[in-house]
């Protein structure tokens, strides 16, 4: 069986919810504490056994590629100033993975972004991790959990989480039969349904392990919600042609593409840093004092 060693990270969106920050800076480079959000995603992929990252990018987003390269001038100057520990922090990021960048020439949707990766993925299974969705589980990274399901069941799998009925309209939602151990045999999917039309409350936040058959499905997918080629619609076609599973992963998800989700992640990650935790607690007390 072919091992899952490639991951596609779509990061070509406009990031309009973060304007004006995203006017000149890619949303994915905005830091959670001092690490750009996309680095957490790449680290999850690498900790899950992925060796090759295919970044779907766009004009004015070169900063992402530069981040995962060496920066000789910076590293050399830090070494000369006896700050080799800082130089090492920079070099370590450059050594994380092999990275191939592909331009999505216009933001035609997540499904279209994934289709852009076909020439590099070829005919093998691959993971997809959204560039602005953080799923935290240091012991068992979410993508690792999905790869294990893929290898055991030999079927494409989407990671899902249960959301309140009021929130189903924010996500792609799966429908099908639960078979135990957090698994569902998916028979249909709906992108951002109204609560009364949702087939379940299991939402796809942004982790997938897919068979290469998804590419022909995406080629046949017409623009859907918002006039974009939706990955959820491509998956609906895949479910008609092949077995598709949903797996309720273990981990805490932060929607870092949303301002409140971003603040949530910033607080959670800062409180976990030994050198920052007590200072952050003091700041929180100060700001909450009057409440
Ligand atoms: P979002 O819709 O959350 O991201 O897409 P966005 O478009 O960047 O941000 P807003 O909504 O305008 O604030 C989810 C992920 O899919 C990527 C985005 O970069 C993001 O990581 N994406 C989306 C693409 O790569 N291409 C697209 O055409 C659309």
Question: What burial class does residue 56 get, using C-beta atoms within 10 Å of its C-beta: 0-12 exposed, 13-18 middle, 19+ buried?
Answer: buried
Positive or negative, the CA dihedral 32, 38, 41, 45 is negative
Domain of residue 168 covers 6-257
Q: What is the CA radius of gyration of the chain?
A: 20
Is residue 184 a part of any domain in this protein? yes
Query: Ligand 1, closest atom to CA 27?
Result: 8
Is residue 239 a part of any domain in this protein? yes
Is residue 265 a part of any domain in this protein? no
225 Cα–ligand 1 center, Å:
14
Q: Is 21 in the pocket of ligand 1 (CB under 6 A)?
A: no
CATH code, 204:
3.90.550.10
> Parallel, antiparallel, or unpaired for β 156-162 and 202-204?
antiparallel
Q: Is 110 in the pocket of ligand 1 (CB under 6 A)?
A: yes
Is residue 268 a part of any domain in this protein? no
Is residue 278 a part of any domain in this protein? no
Q: CB atoms < 10 A from the CB of 101, how many?
A: 18
Angle at 98 between CA 95 and CA 99, to 5 degrees: 110
Mean pLDDT of each 10-residue bin along the chain, 291 residues long:
92 93 94 96 97 95 94 92 92 93 95 97 97 92 97 96 94 93 93 93 96 97 89 95 97 94 97 96 89 67
CA distance 162 to 152: 23
Q: Are 228 and 112 in contact (CB under 8 A)?
A: yes
Is residue 269 a part of any domain in this protein? no
pLDDT at residue 290, as a whole number:
65
Is residue 175 a part of any domain in this protein? yes
Residue where the block lists tokens 């602005």: 132
pLDDT at residue 180, as a whole number:
85
Q: Is 56 in the pocket of ligand 1 (CB under 6 A)?
A: yes
**The pTM is what?**
0.94
Is residue 228 a part of any domain in this protein? yes
Q: Please write down the HEC assignment for all residues of the chain.
A: CCCCCEEEEECCCCCHHHCCHHHCCCHHHCEECCEEHHHHHHHHHHHCCCCEEEEEECCCCHHHHHHCCCCHHHHHHHHHCCCHHHHHHHHHHHCCCEEEEEECCCCCCHHHHHHCCHHHHCCCCEEEECCCEEEECCCCCHHHHHHHHHHHHCCEEEEEEECCHHHHHHCEEEEEEEEECCEEEEEEEEECCCHHHCCCCEEECCEEEECCHHHHHHHHCCCCHHHCCCHHHHHHHHHHHCCEEEEECCCEEEECCCHHHHHHHHHHHHHCCCCCHHHHHHHHHHHHCCC
- CA within 13 Å, CB half, 114: 33
59 Cα–ligand 1 center, Å:
14
| Tally of domains within the chain | 1
Q: Is 191 in the pocket of ligand 1 (CB under 6 A)?
A: no
Q: Is 263 in the pocket of ligand 1 (CB under 6 A)?
A: no
């Amino acid at each position: 069986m072919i091992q899952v060693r490639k991951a596609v990270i779509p990061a070509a969106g406009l990031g309009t919810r973060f304007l004006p920050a995203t006017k000149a800076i890619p949303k994915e480079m905005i830091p959670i504490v001092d690490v750009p959000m996309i680095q957490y995603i790449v680290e999850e992929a690498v900790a899950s056994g992925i060796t090759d990252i295919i970044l779907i990018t766009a004009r004015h987003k070169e900063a992402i590629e530069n981040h995962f390269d060496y920066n000789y001038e910076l590293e050399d100057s830090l070494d000369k100033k006896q700050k080799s520990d800082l130089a090492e922090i920079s070099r370590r990021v450059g050594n994380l993975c092999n990275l191939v960048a592909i331009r999505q020439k216009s933001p035609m949707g997540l499904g279209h972004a994934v289709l852009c990766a076909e020439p590099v993925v070829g005919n093998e299974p691959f993971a997809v991790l959204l560039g602005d969705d953080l799923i935290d589980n240091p012991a068992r990274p979410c993508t690792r959990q999905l790869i294990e399901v893929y290898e055991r069941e030999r079927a494409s799998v989407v990671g899902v989480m249960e959301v309140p009925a009021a929130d189903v309209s924010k996500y792609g939602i799966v429908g099908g039969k639960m078979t135990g151990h957090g698994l569902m045999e998916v028979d249909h999917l709906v992108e951002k349904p109204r609560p009364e039309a949702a087939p379940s409350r299991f939402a796809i936040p942004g982790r997938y392990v897919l068979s290469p058959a998804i590419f022909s499905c995406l080629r046949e997918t017409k623009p859907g919600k918002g006039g974009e080629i939706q990955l959820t619609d491509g998956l609906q076609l895949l479910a008609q042609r092949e077995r598709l599973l949903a797996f309720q992963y273990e981990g805490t998800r932060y929607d870092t593409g949303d301002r409140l989700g971003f603040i949530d992640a910033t607080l959670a990650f800062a409180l976990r840093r030994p050198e920052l935790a007590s200072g952050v607690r003091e700041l929180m007390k100060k700001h909450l004092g009057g409440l």
